[in-house]
A = this chain, B = another copy of it.
């Protein structure tokens, strides 16, 4: 191995061990050359290799930085227990077709006409009734990820320093916001004493999934929610409430947007509860930020497609949405029972209590690190920089047709069998 490769290898180790953290500036070429007792060109070659391998980012004039993870979820694995969507096989195809034909009958040319930036008025009203929210400061977006992206833009460039995250949290938020401040999660929400320690005056935003938290599946207790809402008011920070699956908790919960609307940016996914092809969601933003969000949406992609908005409006209005969600909940219950049975058969690997988890994933701790080239599930380390979750698995079980789900269970059994057999 050439010298520069040895140096690259050493730096890679420091990144993987967490000695150099994502977003952190690493020592300069000059300093590294001193440390490794070699010339600067050799270090530069090592840096080039690490850039190629996507470990480092170079910012001209500023130095080299550890790259943030840039995961793109892709499904398509044979046993896809990774993709957190509901399979299109369950989506009511004939209902959808009837709605499209109904739209062509009734909307005529208007089906392709210009939609207001904030979204179709009728659609917003239907959403307001369905989700018990005022439509005043509602904005239709192309899915919850766009809601996060708009938030990043509205709050500006040096956001990472001003933003607090749950630990673990959604990988898409980690990489989008370049998350660096975290508060550990307990079974009923964040650890409040750790939260208080993290809430310095420079923290302006707290990103949270209080209902069916990703990845743990837990829901905040009303008490903790109240405590955090109080802190948002007195400490003057905003709560980014990412509600991607609240349809799947047993009884309706009070949301941050209900308690402290003036300090909450509420983001509701309509894709996660339906099917991945429907790229829609909506936001409720504080009055003081509404114009800014509206302009930011406009400059991002003008408006979300009117046809999809009209489709979704009718899908909700006719009750098809409610029926579909109820059907999905029944499927979730059945599948979850099956999956837990498989996990329980390997007590040496998994011990745990999944009662408090809602939604269509299970967040599971394994007694050892399962390291295989093509894991069917999502790895714990994608959700946290902390070592505590290295041995966790997030198993999402709704993005499979019935046969594939059965085959996946068999595959898991074989896999766990092999691991447990000495």
Residues of chain A at the chain B interface (Cβ within 8 Å): 70, 72, 74-75, 83, 85, 88-89, 91, 93, 96-97, 100-101, 104, 108-117, 141-143, 145-146, 149, 157, 172, 175-176, 275-279, 294-295, 298-308
Contacts and interface: CB of A to CB of B under 8 A. Distances in A.
Nearest to A118: B72
Contacts of A116: 74
A74 B112 CA distance: 16
A175 B299 contact: yes
B306 A112 contact: no
Contacts of A307: 277, 308
A149 B299 contact: yes
B277 A72 contact: no
Given A278-B305, A301-B145, A303-B279, A112 B91 contact: yes
Contacts of A278: 112, 305
Contacts of A279: 301-305
Contacts of A101: 97, 100-101
B114 A277 contact: yes
B143 A301 contact: yes
Given A89-B109, A109-B89, A276 B114 contact: yes
A105 to B, nearest CB: 9
A128 B179 CA distance: 38
A280 B236 CA distance: 40
List the 10 closest A-B pairs by CB distance, nearest first: A112-B277, A88-B113, A146-B301, A112-B275, A114-B276, A97-B104, A88-B109, A88-B112, A70-B295, A142-B301
A167 to B, nearest CB: 20
A28 B138 CA distance: 36
Contacts of A88: 109-114
B145 A142 contact: no
Contacts of A74: 116-117
A146 B146 CA distance: 11
Nearest to A310: B277
A72 B117 contact: yes
A96 B72 contact: no
Given A88-B109, A93-B109, A100-B104, 18 more contacts: A70-B295, A72-B117, A83-B114, A97-B101, A101-B101, A112-B277, A112-B278, A113-B276, A141-B301, A145-B300, A145-B301, A145-B302, A149-B300, A176-B299, A279-B303, A279-B305, A305-B305, A305-B308
